[in-house]
Each structure stands twice: as C-alpha cells, then as structure tokens.
Structure 1
Amino acid sequence: MIRCIAVDDEAYAANIIADYISKVPFLELVGKTTNPIEAINWVQEGKVDLVFLDIQMPELTGIQFLKICGSKCKVILTTAYPEYALEGYEHDVVDYLLKPIPFDRFFKAVHKAQTLLQAKRASPSTLAVAPGQPAAEPAPAAASAPEYMFVKGESKNKFLKVAYGDILYVEGLKNYVSLYLPGQRLVTYQSLTDLAEQLPQPPFYRVHRSYIISIDKVNMVDGNMIYINDTAIPIGETYRESFLKRIREKHTL
C-alpha cells in the first residue's frame, strides 16, 4: 500500500483528493490537512510515501514544501495554475495535476507514483524489473557498457550524465522531456524530437508523439499498449506498424 496525504489550504479540494484516494486499492489515506506544517511533520515522522500537494498556500508554498521534504517522499502537485508546472518538475515531482482534476488523470498520476516507489523499494539487482517478471537479458550488458549522454540540468551550466542502459522510457512535455530511470525521473529542457536523435536505435524507438521507449525494458505489448514495469504507454497510430514489425522480427517479447 502507498501511504498518502492530501494537503490543500481549501478543505473541499483536500476532500476531493481524499475521496479519489479511497477509490484506488493500492492507496491508503493517512491524513488530509489544510496546514502544510502539519503535513511536514507527518512526512518527517516517516508516515507518508506520497503527498498530493497544493502549490499556493498562505503559510508555506508547495515549492517551499518540496525544498524541505522532497527527498523524503514522492509528491504530486495539485493546482489551478499551469505556470508552476516547470518549477515543480525541476523539483522531481511525480506529476502535475490541474484543477479541476478528473479521476482518470488522477489515476494515471498515481500509477506513475506506484512505478517509482516500487523501483525505489527494490534491491539494486532487481531495480528495473516488475514484480513477477524475469529480468531483461540486455540489462547486464548495459551495466558494463560505457554508453551515455549528458542532459541539461535545472541551472545554466549543470549537466547530468545518463547511461542509455538505465533509461526505461522518455515522455515529451511541450518544450522539455522527462527521462524515467529506475526510481528516478530527470527533467530537461529539450524537445522529444531532438532527444530521439541522440538516443541509439535500437534499443530506443519512438512509439507515440509523446513517448520514446527502450525495447529492452518492455515487459509486454498488448494491442495498442506497451507495458514497462507497471506503466502503460500508448502506441500512436503513426508508429504502430513500424514498431510491431520490429517486435515480430525480434521475437523476444
């Protein structure tokens, strides 16, 4: 179970999140509050895995909360203001939900959180393997291969080294992209098209206008969906035929 709290200075908004949490079997509501200081205490006491956090609050903003507690739990931001999205991603939030929040969008966000938390809890030898799934054969080779790239960090002259073998999939978000690694997500200013040119093919393939996947990390392809650990990634109509052709040629999935 993922232990959750809802933090919002408007009680009705916290109640909506609490109601959504109650509908998801793998989520447990630890508490809801309009006081971010109380929420910080819950996190510091180790009672929380996932925080649904409003950004604009009078006592303490969501960004200030992230600076204090961001390393101790996963955070999904909830707000009516899209202009804070990039700043939130720079603090490694799981997702960014715009109010009013539809349940299907909420459910997608918590599945992302579940994937990240499961990977974090796993031992290093099984970090990129979904429960009940065999380890992908290419993983040992990736660990020893010195293939990598550098991606731009949150400050002007900061660059992060990322091994190709660690990348599970990439999601495009307008003018920046999220790279999903076991237990970690990196956000960088770059278009998905530009990043696709840097990634070796294979194992990386663009399968949707918003997604690039590593075929080595795929657990299953079912219809129009690709599954990497517990994450479901859609196959775009434009990319479907060429991707499925590669799958049939490889006969490895």
Structure 2
Amino acid sequence: MKVIAVDDEPVALDIIRTHAEKIPFISLDASFLSAKDALAYLEKERVDVIFLDITMPDLSGIEFASMLDSEIQVVFTTAYPEYALKGFELEATDYLLKPINFTRFLKACQLAETRLQAPGLKKREEEQALFVKDGHDWVQIKFSNLIFAKAEDNYVDLHETDKHTLTRITLTELQTKLPVDQFIRVHKSFVISRQKIERIEKHQVTVGGNKIPLSKLYRNQLLQNVGKDR
C-alpha cells in the first residue's frame, strides 16, 4: 500500500516512519509537516492510506479528511481521545492515540489492507453501524442488532439483541445518526427498530419481545410508516 503521513510534530512523523519500515506490505512514500503541502502532493500522486494528525495549524485533520477522495483511507493520529467520534463519523479506517506503539500501528495497517482488498467494505460497514462512547471506551452499535433506544436523563440506553450500552447523548441527537428508514420514534423517551416491530397496540408496541410505550403524539406517524412498508 502507498502511504503518507501528515503531522506538524517531527517526532510524531519519526515514530510513524520507524514503524512503517518494519511492515513489508506498506510503503511510506512521503511525510509532511504541513497539511497544505500534503494536499499539493495528492494532486499529483496516488495514495491508499494517510496517517493524519487532527490538531494542526492552518488546516485541521478533520478539515483535511473532509476534502479527500472517498477511496483514500484515513487513519487519524492524535493525543486527544475526544475526537474519536468525529473521526469515525468521517469513516476513518482507524484512530490511533499517541504515543503510538508498533502493535497498534500494525493492526491499523492490517485493517487498511483488508479494506483495500475488498472494495466497498469500508462504506458498507459505516452505513450499518455507529460508534458511541461507553465510559472511556468507544463501542460499535450495529443497526441490525439495535432493538430500541431509551432516554435516561442525559443518557441513552441502547438495547441490542445481545447487550445494552449506556452512552451520554440525547435521544434527539441519537435519532439524527440513525437511518430514518430503519428507526422511528414512538415516545418522548423511546426510538425503536421498525424491522423488529411485532405488534402495535393502542398504547404500546412490542419490539423484539420488549413492550414499549406508544404515545398519542407518535402513534399516527408510526401507523402511516408501517402502512408505507406494506
């Protein structure tokens, strides 16, 4: 794989260069201290993967990534874990926290290689899941497994077929991240999977074996959508 690295810290680039020299299936063709110089390079050269710092002057890694061709994979590198969600929203292949050790760097390269050998895999995965924060970790929530989401004060409890995850987010914000053709709100505190609806009654809905309250405000909307599905 043809790889470049972009980071405004020379030491960070040295670490990536040292790691890359140990991996036979990648070629670190160039490294840049300036995002603008990297963009100029990309106008002339083909690249498979970019190791990209997030906090840089002039042009941030997030801004840089949003300008790239969708075929180029991005692995974000940063000392700040709070940017992880935004990184995954931009369909990043991986997210490495500094200081980057070799084992973690190798894993990111292997993931990028797998996606390069299976065209379209990255896009399909991103369309079918989202990442949420669970304590200090980030976990993947697959849409196909998600049964319903319940608001709990300033948190949302995500109930999947095999587990549930409590994450700090509002239900309204979560709903903007869910596919509108797969999920629908049925109560001020509940969003459910349309595919997993088993029964609709006057004041409740059965979804994946769970009885969820159905408010009058959302009942007509639910019935209209169910009618469209049929």
Q: Name the TM-score class by shorter chain.
A: 0.5 to 0.7
Report which of the two structures shows the higher radius of gyration computed on alpha carbons.
2
* Other-structure match for 2:75: 76
Superposition deviation, residue 42 in structure 1: 2.5
Corresponding residue for residue 194 of structure 1: 160
C-alpha distance in 1, partners of 2:92/2:113?
A: 13
Query: RMSD of the TM alignment (CA)?
Result: 3.3
Secondary structure, aligned partner of 1:40: helix
CA distance in 2 between counterparts of 1:100 and 1:78 reads 9
Identity %: 40
Per the alignment, in what secondary structure is the counterpart of residue 69 of structure 1? coil
1:85-234 to structure 2, matched below 5 A, reads 85-120=84-119, 162=128, 174=134, 176-177=139-140, 194=160, 196=162
Match of residue 65 from structure 1: 64
- Please, which runs of 5 or more residues in structure 2 have no aligned partner? 143-148, 150-155, 164-230
User: How much does 1:62 deviate?
Assistant: 0.4
Q: Counterpart in 2 of 1:19?
A: 18
SS in 2 for 1:109: helix
Inter-partner Cα distance in structure 2 for 1:171 and 1:85: 9
Q: Is the 8 A contact 1:44 1:69 kept in 2?
A: no
Deviation at 1:71, TM superposition (A): 1.3
Offset at residue 22 of structure 1 (A): 1.2
Offset, 1:47? 2.1
1:172 Cα deviation from its structure 2 partner: 8.6
TM-score normalised per structure 1: 0.51
Aligned 8 A contact 1:7 1:54 in 2 = yes
How has the CA–CA distance of structure 1 residues 23 and 63 changed in structure 2, closer, same or farther, with 3 Å as cutoff? Answer: same
Q: Name the aligned partner's letter for residue 50 of structure 1.
A: V
SS at match of 2:23: coil
Alpha-carbon distance, 1:44 to partner: 3.2
**CA positional deviation for 1:171:** 9.0
Q: How many residues align?
A: 147
Give the structure-2-normalised TM-score.
0.55
